[in-house]
Amino acid sequence: TVFYYLHSYAKVMFMRKKTIIIIIIVLALALAGWLVVKYQQHIATEAEISAIKKDKIVKIEVIENSTFGKLMTESSDLDANTVNGIYKAAQPVHDLAKIKVGHFLELVYDSETDQFKEFRYKIDSEDQLRVYRNPDFQDLSLEVIDQPGAMITAEAELVVETVVEAVAPYWLAVVEAIPYEIRIKIANGVVATSMYEAAMKNNIDERAIIELANVFQWTLDFAMDPRVGDEFVFIYEERYLDGEYIMPGQMLAGKYVNAGTVFDHYYFEESADNQGYFDGAGNSVQKMFLKAPVEFRYISSGYTTGTRVVMEVGLIGPHMAIDYAAGSGTPIRAVGDGTVIQIGRSGCYGNMITLRHNGTYTTRYAHQSKFAVKSGQRVKQGETIGYVGSTGCSTGPHLHFEMIKNGAKIDPLKEVLPPGTAIKEENKERFFSEIKAWRQELGL
């Protein structure tokens, strides 16, 4: 009897387990089926997205000795009336007679109809000209033509379109900001030979490195200051257009460790009148003068009040200036805002420019090959004023640079320069809040 009950109990438990297993299998199959359906739906959705057609863009490169009309006639399928219409519409906002070599004329065709719909031309890295069909033109034409009982001939329709053109032009033109997609990029490196080599080793866009150097140009002289083992990390915007990387954008934050000393700079817009780069304490890093007036190879002769002999040109005496060796034609930059008070040939100085910055400071730039400014012209810090040469008493291409303070020549490399405008106390809380995340990314 006991055996019978045990056997019956075991049989019942086996049936229960079998039922549970069957239920689990059914649920698993149902779940799998649901996942397959969802997966198929997901795939279908992505397929639908990828199937969305983009407008076709045809690019025509501007080459030497070409004109807008010639390029559009020879390299596009647009008729003369369309080309002339685009040119005339653009005239009030941008002169297409001044297209630049290396830029592109862009023709946009509708993805559905393949009809030409828009003309684009990137004026520079920030702005573009856009000429597009006026959406009101056709509607207005139909409104005039489509009158009850009207008998419209081809000639009459042409007259109507002419009248409409005067009221609502067929083409509209506008200069607008290029609609870049902005992505944030963090880059870093360690200097083994130069910052440029470190950037190339880490696949950093060289244009971004140039921007980084520009941010630190008041703090570091990248021709003289970098040391082996220096570290840098910076955060900047990358600009994309139609999914394609175009160029680096705004430098947002950067850190450079030079021989153990940490320099960190941040971009901040305090107001319309004060925006730029500041250190971690909120002090402007933009000083009155740049660290150097030219991208140079080395300093060929430093500042000295002692006797210096240059036998090649027969000069004996002090050299109260800095000579920057650089290739002939290298751009020379104004170290600060100022006015051109002297320009021309000046004895042993050769071709020379003198800038007056204020009542205290004046700077001179000698041995130039040619000038880029005129007498009396106001110039901004960093603006090209001329080009390196070897005119006057010179033994080779270089820039002879002098700084004069209150009428006396001084050593520009030892002068303690006044700082730029600091962030106001009432704005510092906002500044510290904005740079908090950047400081963490920089490891500070």
Residue 373 near residue 419, CB atoms below 8 Å: no
Q: SS3 for 165?
A: helix
Within a 13 Å sphere around the CA of 376, how many CA atoms are in the beta-carbon half? 0
Q: What is the mean pLDDT of residues 34-49?
A: 47
Please determine, for residue 25, whether its predicted confidence score (pLDDT) is greater than 90: no
Residue 355 near residue 379, CB atoms below 8 Å: yes
Tell me which of 21 and 168 has the higher pLDDT: 21
Report the topology of domain 56-177.
Nuclear Transport Factor 2; Chain: A, (3.10.450)
Please determine, for residue 140, whether its predicted confidence score (pLDDT) is greater than 50: no
CA dihedral 267, 270, 275, 277 (to 10 degrees): -30
Please determine, for residue 40, whether its predicted confidence score (pLDDT) is greater than 60: no
Residue 218 near residue 265, CB atoms below 8 Å: no
Q: What is the mean pLDDT of residues 407-422?
A: 80
In whole angstroms, give the CA distance from residue 400 to residue 391.
11
| pLDDT for the residue 253 | 95
pLDDT tens per residue, range 256-282:
999 899 999 999 998 877 788 999 988
pLDDT tens per residue, range 368-403:
999 999 999 999 888 999 999 999 888 889 999 999
| pLDDT for the residue 218 | 81
Q: What is the mean pLDDT of residues 229-239?
A: 93
Dihedral sign for Cα 94, 100, 103, 108, please: positive
Residue 213 near residue 222, CB atoms below 8 Å: yes
| pLDDT for the residue 15 | 54
Structure tokens at 100: 């630049």
Domain 181-279, what architecture?
Roll (3.10)
pLDDT tens per residue, range 107-122:
999 888 888 889 999 9
Please determine, for residue 51, whether its predicted confidence score (pLDDT) is greater than 70: no
Q: Which residues, at least 6 apart from 172, have a Cβ–Cβ distance to it below 8 Å?
A: 89, 131, 132, 133, 134
In whole angstroms, give the CA distance from residue 226 to residue 2.
94
Please determine, for residue 240, whether its predicted confidence score (pLDDT) is greater than 90: yes
**Whole-number Cα distances in Å, 248 to 175, 205, 212:** 22, 8, 11
What is 55-112 written as a DSSP string? PEEEEEE--TT--HHHHHHHH----HHHHHHHHHHHTTT--GGGPPTT-EEEEEE-TT
Q: Which residues, at least 6 apart from 370, have a Cβ–Cβ distance to it below 8 Å?
A: 351, 386, 387, 389
DSSP one-letter code for 52: S
- Radius of gyration from C-alpha coordinates of the chain: 35
| pLDDT for the residue 167 | 40
Please determine, for residue 175, whether its predicted confidence score (pLDDT) is greater than 90: yes
Please determine, for residue 4, whether its predicted confidence score (pLDDT) is greater than 50: no
Question: What confidence tier does 125 reach under pLDDT thresholds 50, 70, 90?
Answer: confident
> Where does the chain hold its CATH 2.70.70.10 domain(s)?
298-410
Residue 217 near residue 231, CB atoms below 8 Å: no
CA angle 90, 94, 97 (to 5 degrees): 90
| pLDDT for the residue 33 | 59
| pLDDT for the residue 31 | 55
Residue 334 near residue 358, CB atoms below 8 Å: no
Report the topology of domain 298-410.
Glucose Permease (Domain IIA) (2.70.70)
Query: 13-22, 53-62, 66-75, 393-402: lowest mean pLDDT where?
Result: 13-22
| pLDDT for the residue 29 | 58
| pLDDT for the residue 169 | 65
Structure tokens at 20: 């549970």
> Where does the chain hold its CATH 3.10.450.350 domain(s)?
56-177, 181-279
- Cα 435 from chain centroid? 21
Query: 81-95, 201-215, 288-302: lowest mean pLDDT where?
Result: 288-302
Within a 13 Å sphere around the CA of 192, how many CA atoms are in the beta-carbon half? 7
Structure tokens at 313: 């040109």
H or E element at residue 27: helix 2-51
Among the residues of 106-153, which ranges form H helices? 135-145
Question: What confidence tier does 127 reach under pLDDT thresholds 50, 70, 90?
Answer: very high
